[in-house]
Amino acid sequence: QCSSQKDYVILAARTPPNEEQNENLKHPKAKLDNLDEEWATVHANQVSRMLPGGLLVLGVFIITTLEMANDFQNALRRLVFAVEKSMNKKRLWNFTEEEVSERVTLHICSSTKKIFCRTYDIHDPKSSAKPADWKYQNGLSASWLSLECTVHINIHIPLSATSVSYTLEKNTKNGLARWAKQIENGVYLINGQVKDEDCDLLEGQKKSSRGNAQATNHSFDVRVLTQLLLNSDHRSTATVQICSG
């Protein structure tokens, strides 16, 4: 999970080797230049689809022996940009100014147990590595609040005369992109009220002696009001009735 001050890593998911890599594992001096970026990006996309909301693939890590330590930086840099580029192709939401654009590369030397952590700005293709601190912490996610929701979606994707020649995947993605834009521009009613973007959902709740909201389950009724998708030359009409008093 990203934040403006620090990032939180919950799990390091190891990419399973494919059949060709199983053969290369017999040669410990194999160069990192032969790293299968396509295989790693496929795994990153699979992990991303399994993550709940609020969590994302934060970067890549690698464990090498001492003699390979000098080769890792360029390989990790290429890999972290390749992973982010692949996931952005399937991204429906646009980046906002508040989102953190830095991603993490982690190199662990199996011989010396040393850890090298660096970050890259994925919005800058020429971004250079920035050193970062890596610290272990127990029970990190135990103090987080969990927000569960059920969303019922029924979307009709109309096809124009020119889009019928496109593939099903492309037409579906274009339709979902229009729907995602509606959601971004929509108005949200939480328990019948419009809340500010930085407003606390538990505003007004009693606080414990530690300053945290009392641990209990809360239910919220959230309604999303979206604008109808109309062509630029289409005018909508409304009936206005004058009321007295």
Identify residue 225 by its one-letter amino acid code: L
Average pLDDT for 124-147: 81
d(CA 44, CA 181): 25
**How does pLDDT run across 57-105, given as a tens digit for each residue?**
989 988 877 655 556 777 888 889 999 888 888 777 766 777 788 898 8
**Helices 37-50 and 72-88: crossing angle, nearest 10°?**
50
Domain ranges of the chain: 19-143, 149-196+218-229
**How does pLDDT run across 208-221, given as a tens digit for each residue?**
545 554 557 778 88
pTM: 0.67
d(CA 88, CA 120): 16
Average pLDDT for 196-223: 67
Instruction: Give yes or no for a contact between 221 and 191, defined as CB atoms under 8 angstroms apart.
Output: yes
CA distances to 3, 23, 235 from 119, in Å = 14, 31, 49
Instruction: Give yes or no for a contact between 35 and 72, defined as CB atoms under 8 angstroms apart.
Output: no
Confidence grade of residue 195 (pLDDT, cut at 50, 70, 90): confident
Predicted local distance difference test score (pLDDT) of residue 28:
46
d(CA 44, CA 42): 5
User: What long-range pairs does 201-210 form, CB within 8 A, spacing at least 24?
Assistant: none
Average confidence score pLDDT of the chain: 77
Average pLDDT for 110-123: 87
Among the residue ranges 57-71, 146-160, 186-200, 226-240, the one predicted with the least confidence is: 226-240
Predicted local distance difference test score (pLDDT) of residue 180:
82
Q: Give the residue carrying structure tokens 């920035």.
A: 130
Identify residue 45 by its one-letter amino acid code: N
Confidence grade of residue 29 (pLDDT, cut at 50, 70, 90): very low
